Amino acid sequence: MANILIVDDEMGIRELLSEILRDEGHDVVLAENASAARAARNTARPDLVLLDIWMPDTDGITLLKEWAANGQLSMPVVMMSGHGTIDTAVEATRIGAIDYLEKPIALQKLLAAVKRGLQRPATPGAPVALSLAAFTRSVPLRELRRRIEQIGESSRVLLLKVGGGSIAELAARSVFATSPHWIDLATLHAPIDIGQLQAAHGGVVFAGELARLSRPQQKNLAFVLERLERYDLRMVVATDHGQDSLHREGWDELLLARLFEVSLVPPSLADIRDDLPELAAQILLHLVEAGEVPRHHFSTAALNALRTHPWPGGYAELRAAVKSIALGTLEEEISLNDVRRIIAQPAEASCYGLPLDQPLREAREAFERLYFEHHLRLEGGNMTRLAEKTGLERTHLYRKLKQLGLQAGRRNEEG
């Protein structure tokens, strides 16, 4: 028979539903809140979930959205509530729930809903791309998602001003779209045509770095920009260059004016370092659900090593590292050594190798060089963020870098 997960904060309801379903021959797993439900979903892989809407830590609708966002809504979910409304039922169905039961739940309605759910053909397909909706516990990522949604109500075009450690793709994947279609302009080298836009109707068009687009790709961008509304498309572009800098490189001035009309500065991975463990764990979970890697989970030490790594290549570098680590790990738990085989040790580890037998002045200069090299790399050469991080006034900072023989990252400050 089936493996059924019951999620409800009321012990009496959990026990009653469990007794009924076990009498029907099903295996039952119980969870008293969203946190326990997440763990049970990851380990038990239920055939069906009965999910209460009103729970103290995270409500059922939010958990349903989270599962849908990270590609885990591969099983039928029946929502339950004693205080539901038609709007709640409609929202749950829109997200992906297959049924809705009002409490107190009649025996026959329960069994009928479970039977319908278990009879539904499995349609896993390709999981949706990971988006900001999967990160419910990170305050900066939740705020970023709300800002993107708010901007999307008024504009079809969004420019992300980024530097090193960019999460531009993750942000772009979070733009509201009426279809999952995705066009990455950097991958298109031939002229784009109307047929491609028709096929992508309702989707998102993305460019990860404007400065890297060739002239034909710039023409593709301009072509799509003029037809966003006709094909219900959204466009998200990112750059660490300013408008004037791109214009000097040959970009059309009017095109740039349209692209830079609405902009947003998302946090870098360095800005959300404390959230990196959740980010890495969700990436791994998404890869597992997509069938791209075997089932694994990170140890605490492994997650801490990922948290302290600088990730100058941003979200794409982190995702590639997580995938490589998971594919190369032999045990179910990913250890610190598994991580170390893939990523280099953080720069601060080398500080312990400073020669301590030299005069204080030379030793201090050696430390300062390592210190500024480390933070230049973390901030992707962005001098504004470097000044904030080190607590130095900009003029003093440039003078210090010059004194140490380090290259100031002026390019990343435009815009």
Q: What is the pLDDT of residues 165-214, one digit of tens each?
A: 899 999 999 998 888 899 999 999 999 999 999 999 999 999 999 999 99
Phi, psi of 102 (to 5 degrees): -90, 140
Assess whether pLDDT exceeds 70 at residue 267. yes
Contacts of 148 (CB under 8 A, 6+ apart): 132, 158, 171, 174, 175, 264
Whether residue 146 contacts residue 96, with contact meaning beta carbons closer than 8 Å, is answered with: no
SS3 333: strand
Give the tokens for residue 343. Answer: 């990523």
- The mean pLDDT value for 56-85 works out to 86
Q: Given pLDDT bands bounded at 50, 70 and 90, which one contains residue 415?
A: very low
The angle at the Cα of 242, spanning 239 to 243, to the nearest 5 degrees, equals 105
Other residues' Cβ atoms within 10 Å of the Cβ of residue 239: 28
Q: In the prediction, which pLDDT does 92 show?
A: 87
Q: Given pLDDT bands bounded at 50, 70 and 90, which one contains residue 375?
A: confident
What's 350's DSSP letter? G
Assess whether pLDDT exceeds 70 at residue 351. no
The residue among 345 and 343 whose pLDDT is bigger is 343
Tell me the domains of the chain and their CATH numbers: 3-119 (3.40.50.2300), 132-264 (3.40.50.300), 273-340 (1.10.8.60), 347-413 (1.10.10.60)
149-160 residue pLDDT tens: 999 999 999 999
- The mean pLDDT value for 374-398 works out to 80
Whether residue 384 contacts residue 392, with contact meaning beta carbons closer than 8 Å, is answered with: no
402-412 residue pLDDT tens: 888 887 654 44
CA distance 125 to 74: 9
SS3 281: helix
Place of tokens 């950097």: 186
Q: Given pLDDT bands bounded at 50, 70 and 90, which one contains residue 345?
A: low
CA distance 211 to 77: 45
